């Protein structure tokens, strides 16, 4: 077993900041102690390898609880495989992902889950778990939910959007929530009124409004907040907790805040694209706006303040990427002349930790809040804590040595995601990953990638630990 000492850094967890040394024994954290003490000097003498973290942060590896590697959508597949997507995640300091296995209509949950295991097994650079997307809620799939929770797939995404594909009606949603309230599962909701949106899509196209920016106009903030409100009320009726995914509209944040003010177990995430991008990007000329088509859509820039505030007040608890990349050439282009045919989703798994560090630099959140929303709370929310999301004795040694002063410019030229554009092309970031350990193995060291396809292990998860 290799003993690694990470020496002299500022260890930041959700709970504290401490100038400390971290001793890693094999795949786990063995101990953490204040730097420069007798005990850490003894560790240094016994270490096989010392990583000098002087002047640097030592933080838990990021936990991205919302990714879609190789996801089928609109006749194509998200362009990152489990291999390329998890490697890019590692480059960006994320050491755990929770991806979405998909039930297809007419098929069992088990089939979908088996298919996602087959795609990912032996391919991942970092550890990974699965949520399950329910596309066909019926007696059979409701029963299957219990078995999935027991084996570590303890969260289920439902869609109020995409009629005919992933959509569930209110009765199906209520039944799934009732089941989850009995078996400890967490319902994750894509909250947009897809029935109403489809009417507006049809009307827009009939009037010749075919540009990417109309994707944002028809998927109205009110149709996000209406669905968020409805999901909250259905969860109350079912007595189930609720986690709303990819919140982008200020009005939806208000619904969530109102529910939490009543003491309800309602949780939510937002994503970097909603914090840093806006409808201005969707309106870029020459079909460039297609690069920013995702659902929920990007909003006018005014919505960002509510998202930042929600992150500070803990009305929003998590930032995930919803990484679902499609190349501009050949994939996004499927929607030239009809925005509704642009595959929905954006790349981002590599940049979440950096963008949120930039948010620290910009004064939106504190350093500890950065770690809380990007590492600790997603781990707790999805039953991975304290194995993931913190630096403490017994935790997996998923650790990032982060240089808070380094400068970088995000670009498709330099990123590692398998996609031909960057949504943040040219954006300057203060802060950069220096070294990444995944279960004690150095997978990134400066400009060198030292990871291995298949190093990443599947993570069966406990139920939500955030309740």
| Residue 250 binds ligand URP, judged by CB under 6 A | no
Q: Which does 209 bind (CB under 5 to 8 A by kind): Zn ion, ligand URP, none?
A: none
Task: Output the CA torsion sign for 201, 205, 207, 213.
Answer: positive
Cβ contact 101:130 at 8 Å: yes
Which residue stretch of 103-111, 231-239, 397-405, 428-436 sits at the interface with Zn ion (rule: CB under 5 A)?
103-111
Q: Which does 294 bind (CB under 5 to 8 A by kind): ligand URP, Zn ion, none?
A: ligand URP
* The one among 87, 190, 332, 415 contacting ligand URP by CB under 6 A: 190
The pair of structure tokens assigned to 179 is: 């089941």
In the bound complex, what is the minimum distance in angstroms from residue 324's beta carbon to ligand URP? 4
Which residue stretch of 201-209, 280-288, 322-330, 332-340 sits at the interface with Zn ion (rule: CB under 5 A)?
322-330
Distance from C-alpha of 340 to C-alpha of 297, rounded to nearest angstrom: 12
- For ligand URP, give the closer residue by CB, 18 or 165: 165
Instruction: Quickly list DSSP for 394-416.
Output: TSB--EEEEEEEEEEE--TTT--
> 230 to 249, contacts with ligand URP by CB under 6 A?
246
Of 227, 303, 250, nearest to 242 by C-alpha is 227
| Residue 190 binds Zn ion, judged by CB under 5 A | yes
| Residue 324 binds ligand URP, judged by CB under 6 A | yes
Distance from C-alpha of 415 to C-alpha of 87, rounded to nearest angstrom: 11
- For Zn ion, give the closer residue by CB, 159 or 402: 159
- For Zn ion, give the closer residue by CB, 85 or 440: 85
| Residue 322 binds Zn ion, judged by CB under 5 A | yes
In the bound complex, what is the minimum distance in angstroms from residue 382's beta carbon to ligand URP? 16
Sheet holding 94-102, edge to edge: 62-67, 94-102, 127-133, 155-159, 186-190, 242-244, 266-270, 318-319
| Residue 294 binds ligand URP, judged by CB under 6 A | yes
Binding mask 107-136 toward Zn ion (x if CB under 5 A, else -) reads: x---x-------------------------
Q: Which does 427 bind (CB under 5 to 8 A by kind): ligand URP, Zn ion, none?
A: none
- For ligand URP, give the closer residue by CB, 328 or 449: 328
Of 134, 80, 79, 78, nearest to 102 by C-alpha is 134
| Residue 219 binds Zn ion, judged by CB under 5 A | no
Q: What is residue 292's DSSP assignment?
A: G
| Residue 281 binds ligand URP, judged by CB under 6 A | no
Distance from C-alpha of 421 to C-alpha of 415, rounded to nearest angstrom: 9
Q: Which does 107 bind (CB under 5 to 8 A by kind): Zn ion, ligand URP, none?
A: Zn ion
Distance from C-alpha of 316 to C-alpha of 318, rounded to nearest angstrom: 6
In the bound complex, what is the minimum distance in angstroms from residue 192's beta carbon to ligand URP? 9
Distance from C-alpha of 4 to C-alpha of 397, rounded to nearest angstrom: 10
| Residue 345 binds ligand URP, judged by CB under 6 A | yes
Of 288, 246, 304, nearest to 422 by C-alpha is 288
Distances (CA, A) of 271 to 294, 295, 305: 11, 11, 14
| Residue 144 binds Zn ion, judged by CB under 5 A | no
| Residue 309 binds Zn ion, judged by CB under 5 A | no
Buried b (16+ CB within 10 A) or exposed e, 416-441: bbbbbbbbbeebebbbbbbbbbbbbb
| Residue 344 binds ligand URP, judged by CB under 6 A | yes
By the criterion CB under 6 A, which residues form the site for ligand URP? 68, 190, 246, 294-295, 322, 324, 344-345
Interaction site with Zn ion (CB under 5 A): 107, 111, 190, 322
């Amino acid at each position: 077993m290799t003993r690694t000492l990470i020496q002299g850094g500022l260890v930041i967890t959700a709970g504290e900041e401490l100038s400390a040394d971290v001793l890693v024994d094999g795949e786990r954290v063995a101990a953490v102690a204040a730097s420069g003490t007798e005990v850490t000097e003894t560790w240094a003498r016994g270490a096989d390898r010392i990583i000098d973290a002087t002047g640097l942060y030592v933080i838990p590896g990021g936990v991205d609880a919302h990714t879609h590697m190789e996801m089928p959508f609109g006749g194509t597949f998200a362009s990152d495989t489990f291999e390329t997507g998890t490697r890019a995640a590692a480059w960006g300091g994320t050491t755990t992902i929770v991806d979405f296995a998909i039930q297809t209509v007419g098929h069992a949950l088990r089939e979908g889950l088996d298919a996602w295991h087959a795609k990912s097994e032996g391919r991942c650079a970092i550890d990974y778990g699965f949520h399950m997307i329910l596309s066909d809620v019926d007696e059979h799939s409701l029963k299957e939910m219990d078995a999935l929770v027991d084996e570590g797939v303890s969260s289920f995404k439902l869609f109020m959007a995409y009629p005919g594909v992933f959509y569930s009606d209110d009765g199906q949603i209520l039944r799934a929530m009732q089941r989850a309230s009995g078996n400890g599962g967490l319902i994750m909701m894509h909250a947009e009124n897809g029935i109403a949106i489809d009417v507006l899509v049809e009307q827009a196209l009939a009037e010749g409004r075919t540009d990417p920016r109309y994707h944002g106009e028809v998927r109205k903030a009110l149709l996000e907040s209406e669905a968020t409100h409805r999901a909250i009320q259905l969860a109350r009726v079912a007595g189930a907790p609720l986690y709303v995914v990819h919140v982008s509209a200020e009005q939806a944040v208000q619904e969530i805040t109102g529910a939490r003010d009543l003491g309800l177990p309602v949780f939510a995430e937002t994503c970097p694209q909603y914090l840093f991008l806006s409808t201005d990007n969707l309106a870029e000329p020459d079909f460039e706006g297609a690069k920013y088509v995702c659902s929920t859509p990007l909003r006018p820039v005014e919505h960002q303040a509510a998202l930042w505030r929600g992150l500070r007040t803990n009305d929003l608890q998590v930032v995930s990427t919803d990484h679902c990349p499609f190349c501009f050439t050949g994939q996004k282009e499927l929607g030239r002349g009809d925005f509704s045919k642009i595959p929905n989703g954006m790349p981002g798994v590599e940049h979440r930790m950096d963008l949120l560090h930039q948010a620290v630099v910009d004064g939106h959140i504190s350093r500890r809040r950065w770690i809380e929303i990007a590492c600790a709370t997603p781990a707790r929310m999805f039953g991975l804590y304290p194995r993931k999301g913190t630096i403490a004795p017994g935790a997996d040694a998923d650790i990032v040595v982060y240089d808070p002063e380094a400068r970088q410019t995000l670009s498709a030229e330099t990123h590692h995601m398998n996609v031909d554009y960057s949504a943040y092309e040219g954006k300057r970031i203060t802060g950069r990953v220096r070294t990444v350990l995944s279960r004690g193995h150095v997978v990134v060291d400066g400009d060198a990638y030292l990871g291995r396809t298949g190093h990443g292990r599947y993570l069966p998860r406990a139920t939500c630990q955030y309740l």
